Amino acid sequence: MPETGSRWPDWLIDRWRTLPPWRLAAASALLGLVVAVGAVAAAGPWDSGQRTAERARARAGETRGGEHHGRPDGAGARDQDPTGGPSAPGDLPGGGVLAALGAGGRPADSPGAVPAPTRAGLADALTPLLKDPALPALTGASVVDVASGRQVYGSKADTPAVPASTIKIATVVAALDALGPDHRLETRVVAGSGAREIVLVGGGDPTLTARAPKKSVAGFPPPANLRKLADDTVRALERRGSRTVRLAYDTSRYSGPTRHPIGPNENIAPVSALMIDEGRIDGGKSDSGPAERSADPAEHAAQTFAGLLRDRGIEVRGTPRAGTARKGAERLATARSMPLSALAERALTHSDNDIAEALARETAVAEGRPASFAGAGKAVRARLAGLGLPLSGVRLADGSGLDRRDKASAAFLAQLLVRASDPDRPQLRAAVTGLPVAGFSGTLRSRYREPSAGTGMVRAKTGTLTGVNTLAGTVVDADGRLLAFAFMANGTTDPQQAQAALDRLASATANCGCR
């Protein structure tokens, strides 16, 4: 999608974010056909399940071409009309992205809409691609017509497999359902037990930053800023006539082990209700992707905050200590995170593990459960059950997908996206708007290098662990029908070839007028 800090005008970005899910899919498709205006860019693409970052520049310029599945003469293929492009779902007047953003259109299940693809038609396009040598025997596939919620193609669709980072879709959907898209996480400074003690209280925001304020970060709204929190705290202390304090810090919002089961890792910090810059200690060199992490993010945040207070003329005696704020303590200052919808989008676009684990725990808090790995898994599952999702064989061991004990089926992932695309559930929209765009943003920015029917058309969450490659997202097919898909491969031996095979499956779905 268009991002702040890119070459897209701000009004276009704002309009994009407010689109209904089905119309956003149409606009996403058309956006891929006008990329000569400027490539959609998101800084630092990487897939959090891998040990090395996926970093590359997005390809700019007009993109055409691709397979011609489903029709022997190639009719309906994506490269037939790059200016108008397919409309979805239903007809949109005119061509190009601006028409898509402003058009009325029809939902895909309304009278006059094109029929959904048939299983036989999709089988002709997808079954041969599932036989790619890069895809192991344990490869599941599900394609669902979003308007009806009906699976129109499946192959081992109900077989549980390791989802890797595609499980973040479940985490995001549950958090949005539990808390709402406008919810913000609050980091507070409150009066302590002593006359001169203040307490820095963690509110679960991993994106709280100690860096100089920016208008945006990697195309997203600016995060809460520790420097501004220090400024506000100093003003509150001055009103109280205090220039000397002791500092405590409170991480009691979360419970259980802080360290992820995979152990110390550059892809995730210990999970804490209080941290700055996702626990990164790389000197501000990156906003996403692998980086050296603090072993104790809360202590690091408190020490940094103490230094900021000292820089502003406050004497902070001793070193910050762990503690617990008194119930009902006077609030001195507050830093509020970007809206939950933006956190959700950032978690999906950049496959951000730290945000995903925070969202899982915040779902637990909302559900009144312990905010631990175990409690978060139960809370997310409860929310998904309330949405009527097929949970047979699903296991949620973490919120990020780094844990190989996670299990999900292709049918489950596809149905997640159907729920998120439901116009009657607008609170879930960020689970669709946050999906990377093939060839242009997030973890799909460095993929789809060869022009294909999927370039700019596919929006999908990637998943990558050693031996695991998955892809789940949405696409508008050649007839303008909005489809949700999931392709899951476990037991891969060549990750690059496996990713390419999954990308071909998604591109074939995009190019298919499969009736």
- Rounded to whole angstroms, the Cα distance separating 447 from 463 reads 13
* Contact of 260 with 398, CB cutoff 8 Å: yes
Helix (H, G, I), strand (E, B) or coil at 129: helix
Between CA 184 and CA 44 the distance in angstroms is 25
Identify whether 110 is a catalytic site residue: no
Active site residue 168: yes
- Secondary structure (H, E, C), 66-103: CCCCCCCCCCCCHHHCCCCCCCCCCCCCCCCHHHHHHC
Query: b or e along 267-296 (b: 16 or more beta carbons within 10 Å of the residue's beta carbon)?
Result: bbbbbbbbbbbbbbeeeeebbbbbbebbeb
Pick the catalytic residue from 87, 142, 337, 351.
Answer: 351
- Of all helices (H) and strands (E), which one includes residue 125? helix 119-130
User: Which entry of 168, 272, 341, 507 is annotated as an active-site residue?
Assistant: 168
**Alpha carbons 301 and 287: distance in angstroms, whole number:** 16
Residues 165, 341, 372, 507: which is the catalytic one? 165
165 assigned to active site: yes
Which residue do the tokens 């077989």 mark?
159
| Number of Cβ atoms within 10 Å of the Cβ of 136 | 14
Q: What gap in Å lies between CA 416 and CA 46, rounded to an integer?
A: 23
**Euclidean distance between CA atoms 39 and 41, whole angstroms:** 6
CA distances from 370 to 14, 111, 375 (A): 36, 48, 5
Query: Which residues participate in catalysis according to the annotation?
Result: 165, 168, 351
